[in-house]
């Protein structure tokens, strides 16, 4: 194999790696362009603390009083991001 052929083969390998990545980036870009925010389907306690500045006690209180809808999976509490958004909208002043 000549040096030119090796270079072409290498370039084809790189192209085969990059093309699927480019397609994924285009999908992400189209979602962003449509105004859709990329957010997780579910938040965890740590996410609520970081995003909303809630303490552990506040999260527990909101769960117990029904303010914060949740799903429990084993020992993990999951909060549906769509329901959180709805709750925020319903309670906005």
Q: What is the pLDDT along the chain (93 residues), one digit of tens a residue?
A: 798 899 999 999 999 999 999 999 988 888 777 765 667 889 999 999 999 999 999 999 999 999 999 999 999 999 999 999 888 888 888
pLDDT at 34: 72
CA torsion sign, 61 to 65 to 67 to 73? positive
Compute the distance between CA of residue 20 and CA of residue 17 in angstroms, rounded to an integer: 6
If one counts every other C-beta atom within 10 angstroms of the C-beta of residue 52, the result is: 12
Compute the distance between CA of residue 4 and CA of residue 69 in angstroms, rounded to an integer: 62
pLDDT at 45: 95
pLDDT at 71: 95
């Amino acid at each position: 194999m000549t040096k030119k052929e090796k270079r072409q083969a290498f370039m084809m390998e790189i192209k085969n790696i990059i093309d699927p990545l480019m397609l994924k980036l285009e999908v992400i870009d189209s979602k962003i362009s449509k105004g859709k925010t990329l957010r997780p389907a579910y938040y965890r306690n740590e996410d609520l603390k970081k995003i909303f500045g809630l303490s552990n006690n506040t999260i527990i209180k909101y769960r117990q009083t029904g303010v914060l809808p949740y799903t429990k999976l084993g020992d993990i509490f999951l909060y549906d991001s769509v329901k959180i958004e709805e709750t925020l909208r319903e309670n906005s002043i």
